[in-house]
Structure 1
Amino acid sequence: MLTDDFHVFDTTLRDGAQREGISYSVGDKLAVARLLDTLGVGFIEGGWPGAVPKDTEFFARAADGELKLEHATLVAFGSTRKAGVGVAVDAQVRALLDSRASVVTLVAKSDVWHVERALRTSLEENLAMVSDTVSFLVGEGRRVFLDCEHFFDGYAHDRDYGVRVLEAAQEAGADVGVLCDTNGGMLPMGIAEIVAEVRSRVGIRLGIHTQDDTGCAVANTLAAVSAGVTHVQGTANGYGERAGNANIFSVIGGLVFKMGLDVLPAGTIGESQRVAHAIAEIANLAPDTHAPYVGSSAFAHKAGLHASAIKMGPELYNHMSPELVGNSQKILITEMAGRASVELKSAELGVDVTGRPEVVSSVVERVKEREAGGWSYEAADASFELLVRDELAGGSFSAPFELESYRAIVDRREDGTVVTEATVKVHADGRRVISTAEGNGPVNALDRALRQALGDVYPRLAEFELTDFKVRILPGKHGTDAVTRVLIETADAAGDWTTVGVHPNIIEASWLALADAVRFGLLPPSA
Structure 2
Amino acid sequence: MTPISLSIYDTTLRDGAQREGISFSVEDKIRIARELDRLGIPFIEGGWPGANPKDVQFFWHLKEQPLSQAEIVAFCFTRRPGKTAATDPMLQPILAAGTKWITIVGKSWDLHVTEGLQTTLDENLAMIQDTITYLRSHDRQVIYDAEHWFDGYKHNREYALATLKSAIAAGAEWITLCDTNGGTLPHEIEQIVRDVRNAVGDVKIGIHPHNDCDLAVANAIAAVNAGATMVQGTINGYGERCGNANLCSVIPNLQLKLGYDCLPAEQLATLAQVSRIVSEVANLAPDDHAAFVGLSAFAHKGGLHVSAVQRNPITYEHLQPELVGNGRRIVISEQAGISNILAKAKSLGFNLDRQDPTCREILESLKHLEQDGYQFEAAEASFELLIRQALGERNAPFEVRGFQVHYDMMAEAAPTHSYCGRARSLATVKVAIAGKEILEAAEGNGPVSALDAALRKALITVYPEIETFYLTDYKVRILDGAAGTSAKTRVLVESSNGVQRWATVGVSGNILEASYQAVVESLEYGLLLQQRAQSPLPSRLLA
Does TM, normalized by the shorter one, top 0.5? yes
SS at structure 2 position matched to 1:225: helix
Distance 1:467 1:136, change over 3 A: closer
Provide the residue aligned with 1:380 in structure 2.
Answer: 379
Provide the residue aligned with 1:509 in structure 2.
Answer: 514
Provide the rounded CA distance (Å) in 2 between the counterparts of 1:179 and 1:468.
42
Provide the residue aligned with 1:401 in structure 2.
Answer: 398
Quick check: 1:286 aligned with 2:291? no
Quick check: 1:265 aligned with 2:264? yes
Amino acid at match of 1:52: N
Provide the rounded CA distance (Å) in 1 between the counterparts of 2:138 and 2:409.
73
SS at structure 1 position matched to 2:261: coil
Q: Tell me, yes or no, if the aligned pair for 2:4 and 2:261 is still in contact at 8 Å.
A: no
Q: CA deviation at 1:30?
A: 2.0
Provide the residue aligned with 2:197 in structure 1.
Answer: 199
Provide the rounded CA distance (Å) in 2 between the counterparts of 1:73 and 1:412.
57
Quick check: 1:438 aligned with 2:442? yes
Q: CA deviation at 1:3?
A: 11
Amino acid at match of 1:399: A
Q: Tell me, yes or no, if the aligned pair for 2:5 and 2:261 is still in contact at 8 Å.
A: no
Provide the rounded CA distance (Å) in 2 between the counterparts of 1:198 and 1:417.
65
SS at structure 1 position matched to 2:269: helix
Q: CA deviation at 1:299?
A: 1.7
Q: CA deviation at 1:381?
A: 0.7
Pairing 1:217-236 to 2, within 5 Å after superposition: 217-236=216-235
Q: CA deviation at 1:189?
A: 1.2
Which deviations, in whole Å up to 9, do the C-alpha atoms of 1:499-523 show, x marking residues without a partner? 1122223333233223322332232
Pairing 1:344-383 to 2, within 5 Å after superposition: 344-383=343-382
Distance 1:313 1:60, change over 3 A: same
Q: Tell me, yes or no, if the aligned pair for 2:39 and 2:274 is still in contact at 8 Å.
A: yes
Distance 1:482 1:133, change over 3 A: closer
Provide the residue aligned with 1:36 in structure 2.
Answer: 36
Provide the residue aligned with 1:163 in structure 2.
Answer: 161
Q: CA deviation at 1:380?
A: 1.0
SS at structure 2 position matched to 1:74: strand
Provide the residue aligned with 1:20 in structure 2.
Answer: 20
Provide the rounded CA distance (Å) in 1 between the counterparts of 2:437 and 2:68.
60
Please, which moves more after superposition, 163-172 or 212-221? Answer: 163-172
Amino acid at match of 1:31: R
Q: Tell me, yes or no, if the aligned pair for 1:435 and 1:450 is still in contact at 8 Å.
A: no
Which deviations, in whole Å up to 9, do the C-alpha atoms of 1:199-247 show, x marking residues without a partner? 1222122110011111111110011001110111011211111111111
Provide the residue aligned with 1:136 in structure 2.
Answer: 134
Provide the rounded CA distance (Å) in 2 between the counterparts of 1:417 and 1:115.
56
Q: Tell me, yes or no, if the aligned pair for 1:235 and 1:247 is still in contact at 8 Å.
A: yes
Note the aligned Cα RMSD (angstroms).
Answer: 2.6
Which of 495, 507, 519 is equivalent to 2:524?
A: 519
SS at structure 1 position matched to 2:270: helix
Pairing 1:421-460 to 2, within 5 Å after superposition: 421-429=426-434, 431-440=435-444, 441-460=446-465
Q: CA deviation at 1:263?
A: 1.3
Q: CA deviation at 1:84?
A: 2.3
Provide the rounded CA distance (Å) in 2 between the counterparts of 1:236 and 1:476.
37
Provide the residue aligned with 2:418 in structure 1.
Answer: none
Taking only the aligned residue pairs, the percentage that are identical comes to: 48
Structure 2 unaligned spans of 5+: 413-420, 539-543
Provide the rounded CA distance (Å) in 1 between the counterparts of 2:485 and 2:426.
31
TM-score by length of 2: 0.89
Provide the residue aligned with 1:470 in structure 2.
Answer: 475
SS at structure 1 position matched to 2:167: helix
Structure 1 unaligned spans of 5+: none
Provide the rounded CA distance (Å) in 1 between the counterparts of 2:481 and 2:88.
69
Distance 1:104 1:410, change over 3 A: closer
Which deviations, in whole Å up to 9, do the C-alpha atoms of 1:152-197 show, x marking residues without a partner? 0011111211111212222222111111101111111111111112
Which of 74, 83, 106 is equivalent to 1:108?
A: 106
Provide the residue aligned with 2:46 in structure 1.
Answer: 46
Provide the rounded CA distance (Å) in 1 between the counterparts of 2:447 and 2:26.
43
Distance 1:376 1:91, change over 3 A: same
SS at structure 2 position matched to 1:243: coil
